[in-house]
Amino acid sequence: MHQENQEKMPHITAWKAYGQQIFSTPASRKIGYGLVGIMCLLGIQCLFLVDFLYGILPYLMGGFLAGVGVLAVTGSILAKEYRRLDTKLSSSGILMLVVGIAIIVRGNEADGLIGVAWGIFGLIQGSESLNVAIYNLANKKRWGMDMLQAAVQIALALLLLVDPVAKLYPHMRVLGLELLATGFHVFREVRAAS
Question: Is the pLDDT at 1 greater than 50, yes or no?
Answer: no
pTM of the model: 0.69
The pLDDT value given to residue 3: 45
Query: Which has more pLDDT, 138 or 86?
Result: 138
pLDDT of residue 104: 94
Write the pLDDT tens digit of every residue in 63-74: 888 888 887 788
CA distances from 174 to 83, 101, 162, 180, 183 (A): 36, 23, 17, 10, 14
pLDDT of res. 5: 43
The residues spanned by each domain of the chain are 15-193
Q: What is the pLDDT of residue 112?
A: 83
